[in-house]
Structure 1
Amino acid sequence: MNPQAEFPEAFEICQQFTISHDQMIEVIERMTKEIKMGLARDTHPRSVVKCHISHVQDLPTGLERGKFLALDLGGTNFRVLLVTLISDSESDMISKTYIMDKSLIIGPGSELFDFIAECLAKFCKDHQVERDNLPLGFTFSFPLRQDGLANGVLTAWTKGFSCDGVVGKNVVQLLNEAIARRGDLKINIVAIINDTVGTLMSCAFSSRNCRIGLIVGTGTNASYVEKTANTEMLQNFHTSSKQNMVINCEWGAFGDNGVLEFIKTSYDKQVDKQTPNVNKQTFEKCISGMYLGELVRLIVVDLIYRGILFKGKSSELVFQKWSFETSFISEVESDAPGQYRNANIVLDKMGLRQATDVDKRCLRFICQTISTRAAKLTSCGLVCLINKMNANDVTIGVDGSVYRFHPKFHDLLVHYVSKLLRPGYHFHIVLSEDGSGRGAALVAAAAVSNKQNPSKYTYQ
């Protein structure tokens, strides 16, 4: 395929999304500066990459045992899990997913937490643990400022949530109040974590040198292991008895201060204007599943208007905002060269049924352009964290729908991280097996055991 010769107009548009090696190095340098600012007390208020302290300082040792509850709230599906840690490599999980009505994610915060408490109560009664006072870890995949392991204040809603009365409040307290209103449940909430922290912890259970947790799904974020001596936002950081601290970067906001303008396109700016959080989550809007499909749609619509794609013919659906799902990108790119089975299905869903093979190749090229840029930027973030830790052999735990289902995203990450890393550095990227469940349980296990025996859990 020669895109420049076959569809020059589309090629010209897609060139705007091309990021050179030198530009990738610049992204790494600018993110590094923001992370250092986020960690330092004097500059933290000005940094857009907040580097929130997770208060998780104990990675899995293999000694964790017992039953733990876990909650996972990060999108329109909410899960409750019962995790049994059996050995240093074995765990058993029972879970149930509850679908939330849209009214819950935009309505009063009290209704959201009443719903969570109701689901938790039903689950616990089904498994006869409602009075066992089991330790619970809460994976809450929204930006939190944590003043303790079980004290997380929501700083902003993302992913389409906008519940009143939650921003600026301790989420654990809101859940405890909802549980208390019911009066039929005895639970001990010992930890609240971000999904990236859960991913890191879950992968560290089987890969002891895992030091980065990455999410590339509806949103994107990463956590990593930092020296406690560098975490100035931690009270008494200089006298902490533990050497390391897991940091929740909240890197989706990278670029909100304008430092990524040099890679943004007019299409990025169009997508941004269509969101409820304009000029926020700049990095995320270039990478995550909530936005990639819309970038493709905008390019396709532009080419339809010019009479280049589909002979200028369109459908009502293609002009609807957000109608081109990011999953369609994965489907289109899953076709073998010269094959269009998945592309035909996607085009049929979009009402575009008169596409030529050239149209389909053009669509694939657009999808590849958008997903490749997302992988390049994600790679920049990973290299930034590896360099910051000075880790010459590190495992990266990854979860999220974009990473899981895109046919080439893993390979793209490996390729670009390899090109950007300094010689002699080694890394492994592994898929997290239910980090939001097992990870939260492991944090809860470490929290409980640490209270009982403070010297037992240390980094290896």
Structure 2
Amino acid sequence: MTTMCRSQVCNPTMWPSGSTEGVSPAVVEGGKELVLSDQQLAKYMELFEENINRGLGKETNPTAIVKCFPTYVQHLPDGTEKGKYLALDLGGSNIRVLLVELGTAMNINSKVFTIPLSIMQGQGTLLFDFIADCLIGFVKSNNVEEELPLGFTFSFPLVQKGLKIGILERWTKDFSCPGVIGNDVVTMLQDALERRGHKKICIAAVLNDTTGTLMAAAFKHPRARIGLIVGTGTNGCYWESQQKAELFDEPDSGSGKVIINLEWGAFGDDGALDFIRRSYDEDVDLHSVNPGKQKHEKMISGMYMGELVRLMAEKFTKAGLMFEGRGSVSLFTRGALESSAVSDIERERYGEFTNVKRVCDSLGLTHATREDYCNMRYLCSLISRRAAQMVAAGLSVLMRRVGHKKVAVGIDGTVYKFHPHFHNLMMEKIKDITGDEFDYSLFLVEDGSGIGAALLAAVLARTQQL
């Protein structure tokens, strides 16, 4: 086993994750329901494997929760890719356009455009007109005269019918543009470009951010076979045999493999994870913008970590176990605790309480005691550890499906990047689950959604699939 360890993760001066030093025994007892047992993780893995098999099956996919969409990407980068490529990354409130030149080094020129809320929730044609204007403006400002292949990252659930065909299944995040669900997003972008008389952009492929992360990871590391996002949301993809991907309906280009986009955020939407879901999870789901959907994601990702901790602190305070039973308006207000505060609290140097005091003060809990600070840190560690262990269990399943003794996992996202213990927690739990079965590494891939899109275009050019 190898690990690519970041300095802030391995800093021995931080409080150990899960430390109960100074924590009230009543809080430790109350938090036990958040601690996952080996038996629970084994059941989680069994259910996840079953869900993957259902998603891959042609007959079972229509009712499958984990959709396992074939991406039609049949080749990974091998490091020999060269040339100039465009990338377009749409995944949130920003659009990023990149011009990537591959040679002896990778040169990147990029620009970020902010999408107005009126566009994010307006008619679909307006969204794609806006995207086309950003793309054309970027190309002109960079004096791109030749026709260049474009990789289009569209980080919403797509049913792919080919490299250039992606049918939007549903919107997520803050998008709700009518007229896009059920339609091909590549065609909609091409139509918007044609309305502007622009014909010098060739859309080579559409992909999501998870696939882009795996492409960027494989360019860095020849053993990369799994891509993962753990940020505001979460998703994964992996390298699967085409024979097992029964929805794949294109000729084999020679690899015998295809990247599968899991859409694993929906795992448990049918109640499969109720055995480890708790009242805090139910509360978060009930008051979310999509109740009953993305239940797995709501237990793991950065969008919800802070609220889960706040709900625990609220419950324990009202029970008289924290803050002398005296809360505050902020503590009892939904969304008042940002997930970044969880990372800040867990990053504290051992014996110090600067960050946790600042967070408590910001919540109006200026009467907090040293024990309260320890309690808050412990609640953060419970939510973080549970999330990391669930991801580790899922990765263990994917490693076995990939079937390589040596395997690397490329990971992008703010939780993995900034949480001080997440990497180590995942490494430790994978080791607990798999023993010496794999020689594995987890490493950060930054901007996989942008660079990965350009690399996919480059791979298609190298393998003459353009």
Please indicate the TM-score interval, normalised by the length of the shorter structure: over 0.9
For structure 2, list consecutive stretches of 5 or more residues without a partner in the other structure. 1-17
Report whether the alignment pairs 1:298 with 2:339.
no
Measured against aligned partners, the alpha-carbon deviations of 1:59-83 in whole angstroms (never above 9, x if no partner) come to 1122211111111122223211111
Q: Give the one of 246, 258, 265 matched to 1:232.
A: 246
How far 1:185 sits from its partner (Å)? 6.2
Work out whether residues 255 and 282 of structure 1, in 8 Å CA contact, stay in contact via their aligned partners in 2: yes
The answer for the alignment partner of 1:15 in structure 2 is 32
Counterpart AA for 1:29:
E
Q: Distance in 2 between matches of 1:236 and 1:194?
A: 19
Q: Which amino acid aligns with 2:415?
A: V
* One of 132, 150, 154 as aligned partner of 2:146: 132
Query: Over residues 18-51 of structure 1, what are the superposed CA-to-partner deviations in whole Å (9 max), with x where a residue is unaligned?
Result: 1101111111111011111111112111211111
1:422 deviates by: 4.8
| Residue 347 of structure 1 pairs with residue 364 of structure 2 | no
Deviation at 1:4, TM superposition (A): 9.4
Aligned-partner Cα distance in 1 for 2:96–2:322 = 42
Kindly report which structure 2 residues correspond to 1:67-216, keeping only aligned pairs within 5 A, or say none. Answer: 67-87=84-104, 90-129=105-144, 131-184=145-198, 186-216=200-230
Distance in 2, matches of 1:133 and 1:206, equals: 27
Deviation of residue 236 (structure 1)? Answer: 5.4
How far apart are 1:11 and its partner, in Å?
2.3
Residue 63 of structure 1 is matched in structure 2 by 80
CA RMSD, Structure 1 to Structure 2 (Å): 1.9
Tell me which amino acid in the other structure corresponds to 1:159. Answer: K
State the distance in 1 between where 2:308 and 2:196 align.
Answer: 45
What do residues 335-394 of structure 1 show as CA deviations (whole Å, max 9, x unaligned)? 022211111222233333222111111110000000000001000110010111222110
**TM-score if structure 1 supplies the norm length?**
0.93
Q: Distance in 2 between matches of 1:452 and 1:263?
A: 45
What is the SS of the residue equivalent to 2:74? coil
Range 75-84 or range 203-212, more displaced: 75-84
Q: Matched residue of 2:107: which SS?
A: strand
Partner residue, 1:321? 334
What residue number does 1:260 align with?
273
> Looking at both structures, which has the greater relative contact order when contacts are Cα pairs under 8 Å and sequence separation is at least 6?
2
Closer/same/farther in 2, CA of residues 84 and 300 from structure 1, 3 Å limit: same
Q: What is the aligned counterpart of 1:35 among 41, 46, 52? A: 52
Q: Is 1:440 aligned to residue 445 of structure 2?
A: no
1:52 positional shift: 0.4
The letter of the residue matching 2:416 is Y
Per mean C-alpha deviation after superposition, the further-off stretch among 240-249 and 59-68 is: 240-249
- Change in Cα spacing, 1:349 to 1:124, as seen in structure 2 (3 Å) is farther
Matched residue SS, 1:407: coil
Label 1:318 to 1:125 Cα distance change in 2 as closer, same or farther (>3 A). Answer: farther
1:184, distance to aligned residue in structure 2 (A): 4.8
| Farther-moved stretch of structure 1 (45-54 vs 8-17) | 8-17
Matches within 5 A, 1:359-378: 359-378=372-391
Aligned residue identity for 2:227: G
Secondary structure at the aligned position of 2:460 is classed as: helix
Q: Secondary structure at the match of 2:126?
A: helix
SS in 2 for 1:451: coil
Q: For 2:388 and 2:58, how far apart are their aligned partners in 1?
A: 32
Q: Which moved more, 1:307-316 or 1:53-62?
A: 307-316
Aligned residues of 2:159 and 2:167 also touching (Cα < 8 A):
yes
User: Cα 1:338–1:142, aligned 2, differ >3 Å: closer, same or farther?
Assistant: same
Between 318-327 and 46-55, report the one with greater CA deviation. 318-327
The answer as to whether partners of 1:200 and 1:223 remain within 8 angstroms in 2 is yes
Quote the offset at 1:241 in angstroms.
4.1
Distance 1:410-1:6 versus aligned 2 partners, 3 A rule: closer
Tell me the SS of whatever aligns to 1:138.
Answer: strand
Cα 1:22–1:437, aligned 2, differ >3 Å: closer, same or farther? same
How far is the alpha carbon of 1:172 from its aligned partner?
A: 1.0
One-letter identity of the residue aligned with 2:102: L
Distance 2:143 2:227 in 1: 33
Question: Are 2:100 and 2:107, in contact at CA under 8 Å, matched by a contact in 1?
Answer: yes
How many residue pairs match? The answer is 449
TM-score with structure 2 setting the length: 0.92
Measure the CA separation in 2 of the matches of 1:13 and 1:145: 42
**SS of match in other structure, 1:261:** coil
AA paired with 2:331? V
In structure 2, the CA distance between the partners of 1:435 and 1:284, relative to structure 1 (3 Å rule), is same
d(CA) in 1 for partners of 2:204, 2:448: 17
Segment of structure 1 superposing worse, 116-125 or 133-142: 116-125
1:49 corresponds to which residue?
66
Distance in 1 between residues matched to 2:111 and 2:448, nearest whole Å: 15
5+ residue gaps, structure 1: 454-460
Could you tell me how far 1:139 is from its partner in structure 2?
Answer: 1.2
SS of the aligned residue for 2:295 comes to: coil
Q: Which runs of 4+ in 1 moved over 6 A?
A: none
Q: Compared with structure 1, are the counterparts of its residues 100 and 317 closer, same or farther at alpha carbon in structure 2 (3 Å cutoff)?
A: farther
Equivalent pair of 2:409/2:443 in contact (CA under 8 Å): yes
SS at match of 1:230: coil
